[in-house]
Structure 1
Amino acid sequence: MNSAAPVPDDSSTPCNERGKFAAFLLGVLLLVVLFWSKPIVTLGFDPQSERCLPDLHLALLVHEAPQTVRDGDLLFWRPSGALAGFKEQFILKQVAGVPGDHVTIRDGKVEINGKVVVQGFPLARFYHRSANDFNRDETIPPGEFFMVGVHPLSNDSRYWGYLDAHQVAGSAYELF
């Protein structure tokens, strides 16, 4: 007679209980960080189908202006000026140039310190301008940043100019 041994219920194994406890602790920790820490920390994601930063799906937004800013950093700010019509609470872009960097925009290419950071001006028509109207050859002034998204349709500094450091609401850190 073949009698099969009963299969233990995995829900009561010590390993599964530790997993539930770890998930609970992680949830509590996240709540503490989100609601009681200074500076305020929130989660941000790009709700658009055409993502400006396609490799970034979820970011941790730290609501404190950074002391130093470097190329490649992620910064966010509240939309104003040319971006005032955006419905998002914050705009998130990547720093491509900092004060003292040399920006050259010519023939549809944006170069910073001789390196191409973005190409094309597909949104120029929405600004009622030609791509050549955005040409420039200058040094980024103190207290300003050149911000980009890597998607060709990113509405970034190539169209509306530099981001003033005083507008920066904080830094973002890519989660995934």
Structure 2
Amino acid sequence: MNFLKELQKQRKKLKETETIVTNVDGKRFVESKNDVKTISSNMYGFVVDTKPDNVPIMVTEHLYIGSQDCTNESVLINNNIKHVLSLGIYVPVPIDQKFVDCLDLPETDIKPVLRECLPYINVAIDSKENVLVHCNAGVSRTSMVAIAYLMQYKNMSYDDAYELVKDKRPAIQPNDGFKKQLRGIKPSELI
């Protein structure tokens, strides 16, 4: 018996299944062998976060990280934050701010991003002024930059810097491309 006939024979033994597919626009479909049915179109294709995440976390003295919710004026005042580094999402704030375009994609080259971000953070910290680093959710881009700062200026290994930031803000998770690039760079040689 040839391989194709063996596959066809085995295929007949398979149980028919249905797969639920959710598109980015929130439309949901049930796909089966012979049919595709729309089951819902009033959901989002991502998890909707309805709780504010407006508590900036101090990673080291003067370095805070968080989501875009932390850019609220009262949050900045209450934490004596004088500088804001916005990664990939611009939120106007009434204090010194730097916006750096950065997509949260594994293929994003982080070196140009770090060349813009790390000196800005370091100037604020050297001046003993609090700086907030944020992206949309404060999970991937924010953590990548905070880890890079620790590697560059505190001469920490990737693993040690990651553990410190993760200990302070458990929600962090740099994407796989960011992790790979950071691991491939020697501490203090990022910029």
- Whose helix fraction is larger, Structure 1's or Structure 2's? 2
Q: Which has the higher strand share?
A: 1
- Which structure has more relative contact order (CA 8 Å, sep 6+)? It is 1
Do the structures match in fold with TM over 0.5?
no
What TM-score, normalized by structure 1, do the two folds share? 0.28
